[in-house]
Amino acid sequence: MLLFDAHRHLPDTGARSPEELRVICGTCEADWEAVLAHAASGPEIIPMLGLHPWFVAAAAAGWEARLDALLRAHRAGVGECGLDFAREAADRPAQEHAFRIQLRLAHALHRPVAIHAVRAWGRLLDLLQEEGVPPAGALVHAFSGSPETAAALQVMGVFLSFSAEGLGPTRTKIHETLRTVPSSHLLLETDGIGDLERVITVAAAHRGVAAEDLAARTWKNGLRCFKGLMA
Ligand SMILES: [Zn+2]
């Protein structure tokens, strides 16, 4: 089975094979070099460098210039970045500013972008409309929004990735959304938890398709979404 894991983090453990591609996202400046070093260990690792909304407040001044320089020097995408308004204390303007900077980097350098979005769907759509969806590829990982939000993103060309956690037995709203996403814009991920074959099997059961077919489809979609980074 071809396996495309659209979202993971370090530490990235477990056996690797040429039939499994893994997108590894950095979340703060402290892990950018480690993600690049890990990607140098094999072509099946797709590196992404970004500032996650949880780490915006703690980012050291000048992070934008250092991220820009690293991205220019390496074949890596932008992310994970985005908006997370679930926490009461979230500094929304600061998150939006950091997200805009990273969307602009993805445009300027023609790189794909990995987006984290939680309870911020309206603003996510606003910012993507204002900045434009980076043409080299974009996905929202661990998608937890409504079918309507999924449809709005898909029309803009954004891929929707569903995670092991989101496919858990109690997440019935996410299962409902999963059934509505067109196969052309669907991705699957472990988010570092569990194994991808299990995610594919569960997602295939919800969609009423064969696991092998869904694996092949999400592999092709992954190559499309991240085409700018493929060797
Ligand atoms: Zn993540």
| pTM across the whole model | 0.96
Q: In the CATH hierarchy, which top-level class contains the domain 3-229? A: alpha beta
* Contact residues for 59 (Cβ-Cβ < 8 A; gap 6+): 28, 29, 51, 98
Q: For 49-88, what is each residue's pLDDT tens digit?
A: 999 999 999 999 999 999 999 999 999 999 999 999 998 8
* Contact residues for 133 (Cβ-Cβ < 8 A; gap 6+): 156, 157, 158
Q: Is the predicted pLDDT of residue 231 greater than 80, yes or no? A: no
* CA of residue 7 to ligand 1 center, whole Å: 6
Q: Record the tokens describing residue 227, joined without a space.
A: 């085409």
* 206 among annotated binding-site residues: no
Kindly indicate the confidence band of residue 14, based on its pLDDT and cuts at 50, 70 and 90: confident
Q: For 125-177, what is each residue's pLDDT tens digit?
A: 999 999 999 999 999 999 999 999 999 999 999 999 999 999 999 999 999 99
* 107 among annotated binding-site residues: no
Question: Could you give the angle at the alpha carbon of 49 between the alpha carbons of 69 and 15, nearest 5°?
Answer: 130
* CA of residue 210 to ligand 1 center, whole Å: 27
